Amino acid sequence: MIEVVPVSPTNKRQLKRFVTFPFQLYRNNPYWVPPLIKDEIATLNPKQNPVFQNAEAQYFLAYKDGTMAGRVAVIINHVEVQQLGKKKVRFGWFDVIDDIEVTRSLMNKVFEIGLQQGLEYAEGPVGFSNMEKAGILTSGFEERNTMITWYHHPYYAEHFKKLGFDTQATWVEYKINDPEQITEKVRKFSKIVRERYGLEVIRFKNKKEILPYVDAMFELLNNTYNTLQTFVPVQQYQIDYYKEKYFSFIHPDYITCIKDSSERLIAFSVVMPSFSKALKKANGRLLPFGWYHILKAQKRNDTAAFYLIGIDPEYQGKGVTAIIFEEMQDLFRQKGIKKVETNPELRENTAVQLLWKDYNPILHKERSTFRKQL
């Protein structure tokens, strides 16, 4: 028998049970990288995450014959529904054993809530906004997920296809095994672009110096990606929340900001040392030794992850990325970085994918959201 039971978002014991289900499901999987349990609980708790100013969520656990067998978060983003006119019920934090009837039961709960709210279709897995994890892994099962992606078993996608879902959005991820190649070509083009447009790189000595630029970075993100199908404007309260959530992982050396002659921020990139190995060792907890592994990853690492890039539409297609790549190549040489992994990029976002074309990128992961009319 399959039973789907609600989880109270303010009951610490219940919410922890919801958050830690994947720790059981993927206990012996070498490629699954666990999130930090404390951060996951904070994200899902309406008393801690300001996204609930414009969103609501319900959480459910599925039990089969009394044993925990799956989970799902049912989410409504009111900015998306009301301002963008997308009558969508989101679902995320989806994990399940290899039993399609458990998946069916969890999805029926998603459909039920969507219909109650007068919505037209369900899509997931996604988070509360486009700044969070999204998509079911469909290839790259022998690659570790990054800090900002989910890992899934191959049967997840098979369940959705059998249940009549259609593929909605697809993201691709690349790895670059020689990020220092074509250095002189990049350096020469970077010099030309700087001089032509009067651009200057902003360098940071410490994290405190980054803070005045964070709001402008998110404004650039909104302007850079507002034509993509998954776009939902990032609200100011979310910006403040993300500052706090990810600031401890940021190293000032890995941030590149570019300003024009009027001191206006026109481009930025965020690269981080890869935390996948460190988070695997931490196994969801910063104490007692999780912090040690994360700090070690920050200081000594041969792999980096390219997380965010934003360019003012006025400067897109004008070679500004050459400046960013020059800065990154110098950093990689200094830090001993030999491999780079990109963040998930929508397959339709060919402009971003063209950034890597000269570096012999290897497509090593794909992930998709799945959609079904209610």
Domains of the chain, earliest start first:
2-172 (3.40.630.30), 176-366 (3.40.630.30)
- Specify the higher pLDDT residue, 241 or 311: 311
Quote the pLDDT of residue 241: 77
Mean pLDDT computed over 219-224: 78
- The candidate with the shortest Cα–Cα distance to 63, out of 24, 113, 10, 28, is 24
- The candidate with the shortest Cα–Cα distance to 114, out of 150, 149, 81, is 81
Tens digits of residue pLDDT in 152-169: 999 999 999 999 999 999
- Specify the higher pLDDT residue, 356 or 125: 125
DSSP, res 248: G
- The candidate with the shortest Cα–Cα distance to 74, out of 27, 26, 123, is 123
Return the number of other C-beta atoms located less than 10 Å from residue 120's C-beta. Answer: 13
Q: What is the DSSP string of 343-368?
A: PPEETT-HHHHGGGGGG--EEEEEEE
- The candidate with the shortest Cα–Cα distance to 146, out of 321, 374, 327, 303, is 303
Mean pLDDT computed over 269-293: 89
Give the Cα separation of 259 and 267 in Å (integer).
Answer: 7
Number of alpha helices (DSSP H) and beta strands (DSSP E) in the chain: 12, 14
Quote the pLDDT of residue 32: 97
How does strand 362-373 pair with strand 345-346? Answer: unpaired
Mean pLDDT of the chain: 89
Mean pLDDT computed over 85-92: 95
First-to-final CA distance of the chain: 25
Mean pLDDT computed over 270-296: 88
The beta strands (E) that lie in 198-237 are given as 200-202
For the record, the structure tokens of 51 come out as 């996204």
- Specify the higher pLDDT residue, 183 or 16: 16
Question: 3-class SS at 114?
Answer: helix
**In the structure, what pLDDT confidence band is assigned to residue 240 with cuts at 50, 70 and 90?**
confident
Q: What percent of the chain has pLDDT over 90?
A: 52
pLDDT at 244 over 80: no
Q: Which phi and psi (to 5°) does residue 97 adopt?
A: -70, 170
Mean pLDDT computed over 207-214: 85
Evaluate whether 204 touches 213 at the Cβ level (below 8 Å): no
Return the number of other C-beta atoms located less than 10 Å from residue 190's C-beta. Answer: 22
Mean pLDDT computed over 194-206: 92
Quote the pLDDT of residue 55: 93
Quote the pLDDT of residue 359: 80
User: Amino acid letter at 112?
Assistant: E
pLDDT at 355 over 90: no
